[in-house]
């Protein structure tokens, strides 16, 4: 086994882990070209470790024409030169492991770049060795696409190819043709890709669009949704993609067989984990549960429950957590408020500083693992990116009602006194947000009351209490503005209560003898069997009779 493969004694490390997402283009540039790279990430790993997180998730760094910034892969087994080399990647793995950090990488298996050699061969004819590696279909008699499937990036999910005289499927950009998972050779090759990176020492995978792998072989039309069923959890409201019930273009039952094969490959290596991204507006919780149940598929999944515009009231948060537990008591979820695909939650939910801190404590108290997105620990709001600076093809397609994803992808602000916030000496690929200069790492490091230090304390608090990491979840009270629950593990019980309102609220303690945990600073009053919570405050108590 390679030297840099982790030999962790805890194969269950991922359960309740805090995972820090790094978007390489925007984290740290080391060579002045304005684009973040692997060497820059290595330089910043001590900072990441200082947060107390368990792992990092690296967004794609593979060879790519970068039309979707790495999510259009042209070579699964190499690093794009703009990010460095395979040697740099190996050095990153080694340094991360020295610092006690696991490394998860973003595998994009549902589609490739149209510049991938596989696609170049596939489109040449209908009888070459890779002819069936992508989803090809004949037109209808009138020349129109085979069915009504839509692309998330707008328009039909089918593109005509004059070379083969057929349409090919692309759930995303025209330049991202979908692989055909009904072809055994495709599955075998992708499983070998996973083995390649596991052998280099990665500790697991974040699996992009994991429910998009398999399509309906019969290419049946998706039915329309009733107006009252339409929501914008997966795509922005301006996108007609939301009008369909996506019964046939994704989330097919055959996907489970591939996930079992992938789990079998991961189980060949010690202490590996996986987290799947489920893009599903109608059945997200059910798919999360199905993909993580039984111990033979994915380790954990996340959907867009907390990544959407739906404000996380106490009722909504509780129904999401309790709903998942009800359908999959043996499954495991991963929760996130922000990532590289959505508006930062400070802006999306229009949070005050006090609310932002409270919701940070809330996600770190929920049952499940947690993904934090770079800059989240600084309290960054969404950056405004002018149209002339826009890079994201998604934003260009639906501007101005949807401005794309660039506002959450602007460079990480490290130092207020340095050019471009310490991100690069050159011209950054996206402009640094001026408003982020008051939230740089250097500024917040000097302020003991900063959001950065709050996140460090909150993560440490979670890790200090196994009940919060791996415990069960029992609802005590769930209202729009109040949420309380009990986390329990190995005889330890912790009562967690959150006042989500701007008014003082009294919360009753459960029956029994409870003592407030001193780890986090409180501004609460405890009287007998109740606690008075000021606005946007949380309290944690431990059962003395456990």
Name residue 58's beta-bridge partners. 22, 105
How confident is the model over 311-357, as pLDDT tens digits?
Answer: 999 999 999 999 999 988 899 999 999 999 999 999 999 999 999 99
What CATH superfamily classification does 18-110+184-462 receive? Glycosidases (3.20.20.80)
pLDDT computed for residue 520 by the predictor: 66
Burial of 426 (0-12, 13-18, 19+ CB in 10 A): middle
Transcribe 107-133 into DSSP letters.
E--SB--TTSHHHHHHTT-SSSTTTTS
Transcribe 35-93 into DSSP letters.
S--HHHHHHHHHHHHHTT-SEEEEPP-EE---TTTTSS-SEEEEE-TTT--HHHHHHHH
Burial of 219 (0-12, 13-18, 19+ CB in 10 A): middle
Percent of the chain with pLDDT strictly greater than 90: 90
Specify the residue for token string 């993609």. Answer: 241
pLDDT computed for residue 525 by the predictor: 72
Question: Can you tell me the mean pLDDT for 11-17?
Answer: 96
Q: Is the pLDDT of residue 531 over 70?
A: yes
Rg (CA), the chain: 23
Question: Can you tell me the mean pLDDT for 528-543?
Answer: 91
Q: Is the pLDDT of residue 75 over 80?
A: yes
pLDDT computed for residue 281 by the predictor: 82
- For residues 398 and 240, the answer to whether their CB atoms sit within 8 Å is no
Question: Can you tell me the mean pLDDT for 417-440?
Answer: 95
- For residues 382 and 346, the answer to whether their CB atoms sit within 8 Å is yes
Which two three-digit tokens encode residue 296? 């033979």
pLDDT computed for residue 3 by the predictor: 47
Q: Is the pLDDT of residue 546 over 80?
A: no
**Beta strands 530-533; 158-161: pairing state:** unpaired
- For residues 168 and 126, the answer to whether their CB atoms sit within 8 Å is no
| CA-to-CA dists, residue 322 to 123, 150, 280, 316, angstroms | 47, 32, 19, 10
pLDDT computed for residue 518 by the predictor: 79
CA distance linking residue 318 with residue 315, whole number of Å: 5
CA distance linking residue 432 with residue 439, whole number of Å: 12
Question: Can you tell me the mean pLDDT for 443-463?
Answer: 97
Fold classified for 472-543: Immunoglobulin-like (2.60.40)
Question: Can you tell me the mean pLDDT for 463-478?
Answer: 97
Q: Is the pLDDT of residue 407 over 80?
A: yes
> Which sequence spans correspond to the domains of the chain?
18-110+184-462, 472-543
pLDDT computed for residue 527 by the predictor: 74
pLDDT computed for residue 529 by the predictor: 86
- Per the model's pLDDT, the better-predicted residue between 517 and 455 turns out to be 455
Residue 339's SS3 state is: coil
How confident is the model over 91-108, as pLDDT tens digits?
Answer: 999 999 999 999 999 999
Q: From the candidates 268, 296, 389, 504, give the one annotated as an active-site residue.
A: 268
Q: Residue 10: pLDDT band by 50, 70, 90 thresholds?
A: confident
pLDDT computed for residue 2 by the predictor: 46
pLDDT computed for residue 154 by the predictor: 94
- For residues 500 and 538, the answer to whether their CB atoms sit within 8 Å is no
Dihedral class, residue 289 (left if φ above 0, else alpha if ψ from -120 to 50, else beta): alpha
> Is residue 208 annotated as part of the catalytic site, yes or no?
yes
**pTM flag (> 0.85):** yes
> Is residue 303 annotated as part of the catalytic site, yes or no?
no
pLDDT computed for residue 1 by the predictor: 42
CA distance linking residue 362 with residue 516, whole number of Å: 17
Specify the residue for token string 């404000």. Answer: 311
Q: From the candidates 175, 203, 208, 325, give the one annotated as an active-site residue.
A: 208
pLDDT computed for residue 61 by the predictor: 98
Transcribe 371-424 into DSSP letters.
EEETTGGGTPPPPP--GGG---HHHHHHTTTS--SGGGTSPP---TTSGGGGS-
Specify the residue for token string 């020349």. Answer: 143
pLDDT computed for residue 260 by the predictor: 98
CA distance linking residue 354 with residue 338, whole number of Å: 18
How confident is the model over 255-275, as pLDDT tens digits?
Answer: 999 999 999 999 999 999 999
How confident is the model over 114-171, as pLDDT tens digits?
Answer: 999 999 999 999 999 999 999 999 999 999 999 999 999 999 999 999 999 999 999 9
**In angstroms, how far is CA 43 from the centroid of its own chain?**
23
How confident is the model over 281-303, as pLDDT tens digits?
Answer: 888 889 999 999 999 999 999 98
CA distance linking residue 133 with residue 145, whole number of Å: 19
- For residues 135 and 147, the answer to whether their CB atoms sit within 8 Å is no
For 146-202, list the strands marked E by DSSP.
Answer: 158-161, 166-169
Task: Name the nearest CA neighbour of 499 among 517, 524, 474.
Answer: 524
Percent of the chain with pLDDT strictly greater than 70: 97
- For residues 513 and 487, the answer to whether their CB atoms sit within 8 Å is no
Average pLDDT value for the chain: 95
Q: Residue 521: pLDDT band by 50, 70, 90 thresholds?
A: low
Q: Peptide bond preceding 400: is omega within 30 degrees of 0, i.e. cis? A: yes
Question: Can you tell me the mean pLDDT for 235-239?
Answer: 92
Q: Is the pLDDT of residue 516 over 50?
A: yes
């Amino acid at each position: 086994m390679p030297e840099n493969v982790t030999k962790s004694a805890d194969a269950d490390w991922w359960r309740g882990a805090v995972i820090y997402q790094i978007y390489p283009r925007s984290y740290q540039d080391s060579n002045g070209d304005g684009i973040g790279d692997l060497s820059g990430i290595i330089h910043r790993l001590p900072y990441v470790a200082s947060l107390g997180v368990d792992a990092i998730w690296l967004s794609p760094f593979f060879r790519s024409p970068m039309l979707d910034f790495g999510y259009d892969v042209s070579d699964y087994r190499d690093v794009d030169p703009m990010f460095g080399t395979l040697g740099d990647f190996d050095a990153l793995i080694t340094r991360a492991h020295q610092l006690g950090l696991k490394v998860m990488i973003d595998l994009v298996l549902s589609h490739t770049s149209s510049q991938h050699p596989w696609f170049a061969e596939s489109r040449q004819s209908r009888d070459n060795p890779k002819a069936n590696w992508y989803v090809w279909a004949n037109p209808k008699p009138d020349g129109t696409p085979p069915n009504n499937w839509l692309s998330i990036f707008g328009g039909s999910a089918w593109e005509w190819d004059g070379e083969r005289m057929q349409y090919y499927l692309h759930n995303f950009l025209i330049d991202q043709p979908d692989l055909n998972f009904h072809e055994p050779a495709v599955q075998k090759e992708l499983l070998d890709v996973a083995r390649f990176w596991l052998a280099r020492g990665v500790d697991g995978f974040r699996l992009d669009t994991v429910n998009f792998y398999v399509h309906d072989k019969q290419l049946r039309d998706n039915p329309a949704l009733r107006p009252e069923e339409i929501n914008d959890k997966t795509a922005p409201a301006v996108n007609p993609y939301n009008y369909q019930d996506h019964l046939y273009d994704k989330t097919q039952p055959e996907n489970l067989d591939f996930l079992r094969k992938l789990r079998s490959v991961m189980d060949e290596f010690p202490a590996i984990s996986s987290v799947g991204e489920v893009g599903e507006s109608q059945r997200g919780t059910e798919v999360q549960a199905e993909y993580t149940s039984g111990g033979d598929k994915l380790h954990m999944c996340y959907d867009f429950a907390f990544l959407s515009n739906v404000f996380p009231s106490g009722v909504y948060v509780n129904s999401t957590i309790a709903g998942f537990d009800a359908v999959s008591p043996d499954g495991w979820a991963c929760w996130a408020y922000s990532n590289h695909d959505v508006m930062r939650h400070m802006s999306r939910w229009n949070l005050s500083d006090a609310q932002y801190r409270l919701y940070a404590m809330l996600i770190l108290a929920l049952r499940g693992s947690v993904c934090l997105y770079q800059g989240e620990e600084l309290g960054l709001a969404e950056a405004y990116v002018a149209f002339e600076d826009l890079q994201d093809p998604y934003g260009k397609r639906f501007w101005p009602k949807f401005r794309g994803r660039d506002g959450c992808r602007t460079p990480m602000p490290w130092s207020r006194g340095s050019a471009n916030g310490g991100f690069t000496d050159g011209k950054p690929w996206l402009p640094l947000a001026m408003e982020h200069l008051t939230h740089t790492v250097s500024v917040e490091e000097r302020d003991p009351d900063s959001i950065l230090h709050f996140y460090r304390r909150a993560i440490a608090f979670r890790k200090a209490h196994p009940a919060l990491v791996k415990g069960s979840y029992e609802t005590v009270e769930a209202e729009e503005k109040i949420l309380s629950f009990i986390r329990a593990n190995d005889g330890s019980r912790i009562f967690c209560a959150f006042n989500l309102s701007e008014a003082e609220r009294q919360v009753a303690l459960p029956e029994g003898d409870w003592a407030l945990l001193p780890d986090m600073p409180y501004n609460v009053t405890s009287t007998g069997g109740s606690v008075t919570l000021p606005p946007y405050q949380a309290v944690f108590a431990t059962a003395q009779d456990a």
